[in-house]
């Protein structure tokens, strides 16, 4: 790995195909903008929440940048590398100190350590605010879903809804609940088809439809 190496960073919060889509988009960008062959790219991946920067792939990439091994980092969107304005500013500062460029594909944004563009900097900060807002809204939806479930004091309506199980007549979230919320939110935003959602959650399309009909249970 040399100091002209370009890195692609991808992150997903659930076990889905968007990791492949991010990887394809960042690789194509690196090839187009830097003339980098796929074999010359450094790929870093994380499958976890983006609400903080305690991620192994992220930490490895940042360490490589600070060691002088990376000339640029390419990510698909700001929300993939961090989802709070403080983490975003910290990441940008560390990359600037490492003399490493940051390229955001979907927003068409580039931050270069030796080129301070006030417009780009302002846009970067604004996008960071929206990324943090999106993360906070997702957390709030989860809380609202749990609150709606807790109102179901006596549930005797057949099988428990997707992401729940029954405990003495009460609905309680199971270990898949948070993944279910994430996937249903993507369907509601037309970011994912119901067929793909059913495949991802190992269930049927009718089950997905029933879950969407009870969106209040998932804070949607």
Between 143 and 198, the more confident residue is 198
pLDDT band, very low/low/confident/very high, at 192 (cuts 50, 70, 90): confident
* Band of residue 16 on the pLDDT scale cut at 50, 70, 90: very low
**Whether 220 contacts 188, CB under 8 Å:** yes
Percent of the chain with pLDDT over 70: 73
| 160-166: long-range pairs with CB below 8 Å, 24+ | 161/210, 161/211, 161/214, 161/217, 162/201, 162/203, 162/207, 162/208, 162/210, 162/211, 163/211, 163/217, 163/218, 164/217
Is the pLDDT confidence value at 50 over 50? no
pLDDT for residue 174: 82
Measure the CA–CA gap between 44 and 26, rounded to whole angstroms: 11
Supply the pTM of this predicted model: 0.58
* 187/155: higher pLDDT: 187
pLDDT of 137 over the 60 cut = yes
- Average of pLDDT values for 55-68? 94
Domains recognised in the chain with CATH numbers: 5-131 (3.40.50.1390), 151-218 (1.10.10)
């Amino acid at each position: 790995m040399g100091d002209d190496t370009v890195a692609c960073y991808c992150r997903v919060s659930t076990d889905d195909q968007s990791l492949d889509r991010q990887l394809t988009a960042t690789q194509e960008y690196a090839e187009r903008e830097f003339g980098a062959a796929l074999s010359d790219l450094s790929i870093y991946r994380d499958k976890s929440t983006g609400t903080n920067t305690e991620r192994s792939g992220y930490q490895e990439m940042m360490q490589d940048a600070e060691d002088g091994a990376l000339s640029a980092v390419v990510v698909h969107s700001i929300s993939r590398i961090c989802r709070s304005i403080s983490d975003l500013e910290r990441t940008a500062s560390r990359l600037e100190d490492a003399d490493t460029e940051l390229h955001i594909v979907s927003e068409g944004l580039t931050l270069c350590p030796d080129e301070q563009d006030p417009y780009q900097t302002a846009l970067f900060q604004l996008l960071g605010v929206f990324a943090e807002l999106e993360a906070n809204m997702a957390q709030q939806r989860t809380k609202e879903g749990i609150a709606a479930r807790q109102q179901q004091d006596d549930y005797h309506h057949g099988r428990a809804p997707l992401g729940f199980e029954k405990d003495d007549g009460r609905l309680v979230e199971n270990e898949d609940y948070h993944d279910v919320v994430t996937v249903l939110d993507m369907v509601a935003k037309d970011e994912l088809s119901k067929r793909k959602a059913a495949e991802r959650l190992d269930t049927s399309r009718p089950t997905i439809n029933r879950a969407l009909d009870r969106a209040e249970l998932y804070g949607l």
